[in-house]
Amino acid sequence: MIAKIKIGTRKSKLALWQANYAKQKLESIGLDCEIVKIKSEGDINQITPLYDFGVSGIFTKSLDQALLNNTIDIAVHSLKDVPINLASGLSIHCVFKRASSSDLIVLKEKYTDFKKTLTIATSSIRRKTQWLNKYPNHKIVSLRGNVESRIQKLEKNNWDGAIFAKAGLDRLSILPENKLKLNWMVPSAAQGAVAVTSRCNENELNKLLKSISCSSTFHCVSQEREFLKLMNGGCSAPISAFAKIKEDKLIFKASVSSLDAKSIITVEDTFDYDDLKSGEKMFEMILKKGGEKILKELKKENEKN
């Protein structure tokens, strides 16, 4: 019998929103819950761009350790931050219904001329390469921190705009006056989804977690993450993947960018809903379109770090 669930989370407002959302879901099935705040290395270092860390799981490592040390029972994450290969002994049995997967740009001026040389802030290598491929005359600057501090930095600095995940702004009810949804930008694998990690051997707890999971979201993000795994990528690689369900079909779009942003390979296809090989097939499509050359470049750069 489970007495109380200790929910581990980072300390940011967005992370706490996600943890409280998980708490509400667990309490709705009769479980008593407590939130435990844990600081991550990604929160401590607010200067180095994410893609310069050269390490997977920068936001999840501390929570993984707390789980394995039995300090907490579950950890709640933005799934896009969770490494493809989980720490030994941990698993994912619950992914909540995905919110918006879109990226958007918050602008200083309502009427911005993108033909001009603009300065855009982001620490995502995926967003950076896709943006520069579309707007090669623009300049990208690094922007770290939680959602609120990034909004503040945009206001204080002489930048023209900054790129955010729409889901994060929505969850915090941050509604900037000048914003533009970037429908052309392919999102990160699992963007907009919140996942719960737990110890593999907690059979009773894992069964309960599965009961509050969204099966369609779980299926989509699993295929996205399988694609990412085959691409040997993480949140520090310019790789994108997004799958959605429409009329019992799985519509899948994915891309990979060169580090200099001059080349982007994008593929899209439709699969049967129950096709568990869609991520693998998308990977093969990327290779056939010339993705192998970009992947070799990314691998070479990773080896340097």
Q: What is the mean pLDDT of residues 257-283?
A: 96
Alpha helices in 2-72 (DSSP H): 13-27, 41-44, 61-68
Backbone angles phi, psi at 28, to 5 degrees: -70, -20
Alpha helices in 97-188 (DSSP H): 125-134, 147-156, 166-171
Same fold, 5-97+193-213 and 103-181: yes
Share of the chain above pLDDT 90, in %: 82
Share of the chain above pLDDT 70, in %: 91
Q: Which of the following CATH numbers is that of domain 5-97+193-213: 3.40.50.10540, 3.40.190.10, 2.160.10.10, 3.50.50.60?
A: 3.40.190.10
Q: Which of 43, 73, 81, 103 is catalytic?
A: 81
- How far is it, in rounded angstroms, from Cα 184 to Cα 15? 27
Tens-place pLDDT, residues 51-82 = 443 445 567 889 999 999 999 999 999 999 89
CATH of span 239-304: 3.30.160
CATH of span 103-181: 3.40.190.10
Q: What is the mean pLDDT of the chain?
A: 91
Split at pLDDT 50, 70, 90, the class of 302 is: confident
Whether 274 is catalytic: no
Tens-place pLDDT, residues 212-223 = 999 999 999 999
Model pLDDT, residue 48: 42
